[in-house]
Amino acid sequence: MTTDGSVGAPEKTPPEKTEPAATAAKEAPAGDSFMGHFLHNLWSAKPVTETVLSVVLAMVIGAVLIIVSDSDVLATFGYFTARPSDALTGSWDVVSAAYADLFKGAVFDPAAVSAWFDGSGTWQQAFTPISETLTYAAPLVFTGLSVALAFRGGLFNIGGQGQAVLGTVTAAVAGFTFGLPVVLNLIVALLAGLIGGALWGFIPGILKARAGAHEVIVTIMLNYTALLFLGWLIMQDGVHDPNRTDAISKTVATTAQLPSFGGTLRVNLGIVVAVLVTAVVAWLLNKSAFGFELRAVGANPQAARTAGISVGKTYTMLMVVAGGLAGLGGAAQVLGTAYALTPGVVGNIGFDGLLVALLGRNRPWGTLLAAILFGALRAGGNRMQSFSGISLELVTVLQALIVIFIAAPALVKTIFHLRAVRSARLGASMAKGW
Amino acid sequence: MSWLSTAAQHGTALAELAEITAPARFWDRPRRLGAGITLVGLLAVALFGSLAPSATARFTISQDAGGAAISINGKFGAYLFGVIAIGAGIALLTGVAKRWQTTLLGIGIVAFVLSFLCWQVAGKFMPLVDTASGTLQLAMPLILGALAGVLGERSGVVNVAIEGQFLMGAFGAALVGTMATSVWAGLISAAIGGVIIAAMLAVLAIRFLVDQVVVGIVLNLLALGITGFLYERLMQPNAQKYNQPPALPTWTVPGLAKIPVLGPVLFESNLLVWLALILVFVIHFGLSRTRWGLRTRAVGEHPVAADTVGIRVRGLRYANVLVGGLIAGAGGAYFTLVATGSFNKNMTSGAGFIALAALIFGRWTPLGALGAALFFGFAQKLATYLSAVGSPVPSQFLNMLPYIATIIAVAGLVGRVRAPAADGQPYVKS
């Protein structure tokens, strides 16, 4: 399941615009000028171009959804032939307002920034959008890395969700049980999350290695098993908050919470840990012996076995590490923002992690960037929901659409008539099924 | 652990060979099963038997609490059926009566369930008709979803998007059913909702060669997002206009409905249940006896060979996936037209994945899927029954049963589960 054929390829972040210009020059470019080169390369199917076009396409479809679901605007389309301006301005207004709020909630709000400069607002207000974006991005980095790493080893970890659930459970329980001193408590809780996820990843790993059970099936089944387990555990004595009647656990001790910086801002240490872990995963994948083995197994298990690599052991280890990463994502969620277990504490970070990994082309730093993009969409979606009244669910639609276009590069190429960079990439993401 | 390591030393492929040629290993499949059943029986005796109160457990045949009933002392029943399970397990373990392996396995499992029921029902009563019809109702969407999976996967297209098809079906049924104030319009648009997701799955998987598991998962999220978005934009502000579909009517077959227990379960039901049951047998017959079935299996097992003899691989895959979408979408109608009467965000909550589990547990066959779906439906029904009577057994653990059973099945601990050979592999004509 080597998407993009990226396995074994030298690790490069998406090619910069300058580099392929040299190769493109050999291919008889459209124009001789610098601009000609630039445009020629811009309109070819490279990851950056594809990603940008996918986002644009997704937002266009999202705009259609916004218009279709707005009955006022829809009514103006009833007399479209008589007065098209009504329908067009109405549609433009509702869509532009929504997307403007999406941007303001995710990147920066000009009003808050100017208020900061003229002294009527605080710097925190100006940085709130970025803070929110990074807050939502942090857990996704972990779950995304989990999926991406497993991908590179030829395993499809659909179980990020379940592993994250276990991670929240163990992290939260450790967080409100042990009562250790300041720094230690947080470290123990994070480690507990890591171990919880790793245990849940171990099951599909060992079953794949020993009994040949397909990891996709096992991880899918374990997702819901974990969710049901969480639902049961919350209501047990010792976990359930005795002061509440609804399904919520005790609150994690303040010493075990990921500290946030900047007063009112929500962004916390989680994103810093996420960046560090990204670096560790990048090292693990590209520089360590284990990373070499897992890439070899991912590229060709038979060849790896012939070369003396224990494929079963690699699969098991890989799933343990992937599970641990997803577990850390769950820990980041519960120690960073939620602080207590609820049936929906994990949200959708496991499945979102899958999308993030695909968007990040299964590379560690790419995954980090993709997670930040998804965090931005989520943060902006919150503002869009409260200011423009557009449901947050639109963000889920956008995310899914972006990934569909990314996963089907041929689709985007067909739509925009992109020039193929390498013909081999067309059918690169060939599946191997169960 | 010993099971695991034996299974490990000989991979599944080797075990397959061993059945034909090599001298039989001692821990072969029946023995492993026998050991499992014996353990389970011992558990039943030790746990269920000792915990069960010595009170009468009544399984009522009539609709109400009184009336005719099968009665047994709870403690005695729990012990009795536990011992029966042990007996079946030992019979398997010793390897006597090789011909009766499947029967013994069945007896063991049923005895275990009965032992559990005797413990739980002791001092109370369990309405059999309600349990059976509830099981069938809960199993119905699972059957339809699993059949959609059978159609797709037997022709080589992995369908993880059953959940999304359910959601779109449920949503379509609620929306159109309310707007047209017709349950039939709702049912038809449910099927169309399923087809929309199926069409995207088919195009992306067959035409654009995207990894089918990836497409499935992403389509699930897309369906979740679109239905959630439209729910909040349309249905929540104006439920009367968009989210009050009429319920699917319950029909009674005159005469047949008078049969005790089976009558009210099978013949006092709705169209979807009958549709599901009929489709199981139609697809079973179709797959095994018709030209279409032969071609589907050929395409799913060896598309190159199928193409060589002139079968249109891609066309057949498109057709099967789309028909599957119709079926799964109709299954989604259950959630709005039968179960609750209105749409809600993410209301299927994993039912599509239970359907997937039923498909795999049923070994990619229609009849197997039917059995698995009934089993899982029973587990769900039992979970609601137990929480209603205040049982100490947490309902969550019963709800886990489908997933854990499937993991055990694919791990090769019980039987051998094998997907169609070309399942999930896009076909590119060379």
The CATH number given to B129-410 is 1.10.3470
Is some CB atom of chain B closer than 8 A to the CB atom of A247?
A: no
Q: Distance (Å) from the C-alpha of residue A167 to the closest C-alpha of chain B?
A: 19
Q: How much is the pTM?
A: 0.85
Mutate to test the interface with B, among A393, A399, A412 (most CBs of B within 10 A): A393
| Contact assignment for B396 to A407 by CB distance below 8 Å | no
| Cβ–Cβ below 8 Å for A408 and B210 | yes
Strand partners, B59: B70, B126
Taking an 8 Å cut-off on Cβ atoms, the answer to whether A220 and B234 are in contact is no
Contact B396 A411 (CB under 8 A): no
Of B213, B222, B426, nearest to A216 by CB-CB distance is: B213
The verdict on ipTM greater than 0.85 is no
> Which residue, among B412, B196, B174, has the nearest Cα to B324 in the 3D structure?
B196
* Residue A213 forms contact with B (CB below 8 Å): yes
The residues, any chain, with a CB within 8 Å of residue B255's CB and separated by 6 or more, are none
pLDDT for B391: 80
pLDDT exceeds cutoff 50 at A24: no
**Region of residue B337 (phi > 0: left; psi between -120 and 50: alpha; otherwise: beta):** alpha
Optimal mutation site among B154, B410, B429, interface A, most CBs of chain A within 10 A: B410
Nearest Cα residue in chain A from B420: A434
Reduce the DSSP state of residue B251 to 3 states and report it.
strand
B226: closest CA of chain A, how far (Å): 6
Alpha carbon distance, N-terminus to C-terminus of chain B: 46
Average pLDDT, 10 consecutive residues per value, chain B (430 residues): 43 49 65 83 86 82 70 85 89 76 83 88 83 91 95 92 95 94 93 96 90 90 93 87 88 80 81 93 95 93 91 93 96 92 88 91 90 90 85 84 85 68 81
Contacts of B212 in chain A (CB under 8 A): 431, 433
Interface test with A, best of B213, B299, B345, B425 (most A CBs within 10 A): B213
pLDDT-derived band at A58, boundaries 50, 70, 90: very high
Residues in contact with B319: Cβ distance below 8 Å, sequence separation at least 6, in sequence order = none
Mutate to test the interface with B, among A94, A218, A228 (most CBs of B within 10 A): A228
Alpha helices in A307-392 (DSSP H): 311-333, 349-359, 364-383
Range in A31-35, A102-106, A114-118, B284-288 the model is least confident about: A31-35
Q: What is the pLDDT of residue A40?
A: 65
Whether residues A403 and B204 touch (CB distance < 8 A) is answered with: no
Q: Could you give the 3-state DSSP secondary structure of residue A332? A: helix
Give the per-residue pLDDT at A427.
32
Is the Cβ pair A399, B407 closer than 8 Å? Answer: no
d(CA A420, CA A403): 19
Model confidence at A30: pLDDT above 50 = no
Which of the pair, B96 or A243, is modelled with greater confidence?
A: A243
- Smallest CA–CA distance, residue A67 to chain B, in Å, is 11
- pLDDT over 90, % of chain A: 43
Band (pLDDT 50/70/90 cuts) for residue A141 is very high
A394, B229: Cβ pair inside 8 Å?
Answer: yes
Between B421 and A375, the more confident residue is A375
Q: What order do you get walking across the sheet with B125-127 strand by strand?
A: B69-73, B56-60, B125-127
Q: What is the mean pLDDT of the segment spanning A227-231?
A: 93
**Nearest Cα residue in chain A from B394:** A232
Per-residue model confidence (pLDDT) at position B144: 96
For helices B271-289 and B128-154, angle between their N-to-C axes, nearest 10 degrees:
40
Q: What is the pLDDT of residue A213?
A: 84
Kindly report the nearest CA distance between residue A1 and chain B, in angstroms: 8
Strand partners, A419: A44
Q: What is the pLDDT of residue B108?
A: 86
pLDDT of residue A315: 93
Band of pLDDT at residue A23, cut at 50, 70 and 90? very low
Q: How far is B346 from chain A (nearest CA, A)?
A: 11
Contact across the interface for A397 and B225, Cβ inside 8 Å: yes
CA pair distance A125, B416, nearest whole angstrom: 60
What pLDDT is stored for residue B420 in this prediction? 83
pLDDT recorded at residue A420: 61
- Which residues in chain B have their CB less than 8 angstroms from residue A231's CB? 396
Q: In the structure, what pLDDT confidence band is assigned to residue A423 with cuts at 50, 70 and 90? A: very low
Q: pLDDT at position B93, please?
A: 82
Say what the pLDDT of residue A32 is: 62
Our CA-based measurement puts residue A173 at a distance from the nearest CA of chain B, in whole angstroms, of: 20
If you average pLDDT over residues A380-403, what whole number do you get? 90
> What pLDDT, on a 0 to 100 scale, did the predictor assign at position B20?
52
Give residue B67's pLDDT. 67
Contact B225 A227 (CB under 8 A): no
Among A348, A407, A37, A109, which Cα is nearest to B345's? A348
Instruction: Please state, in angstroms and as integers, the Cα–Cα distance from residue A266 to each residue in A347, B107, B217, B253, B405, following that order.
Output: 18, 58, 31, 62, 42
A95 pLDDT higher than 50: yes
The residue extents of the domains of chain B are 2-123, 129-410
Nearest residue in B to A208, CA atom: B411
Nearest CA-CA distance, residue B32 and chain A, Å: 14
A401 to B222: CB separation less than 8 angstroms, yes or no? yes
| Cβ distance of B400 and A224 shorter than 8 Å | yes
Q: Does A393 touch chain B (CB under 8 A)?
A: yes
B15-33 exposure pattern, b = at least 16 Cβ within 10 A, e = fewer: beeeeeeeeeeeeebbbbb
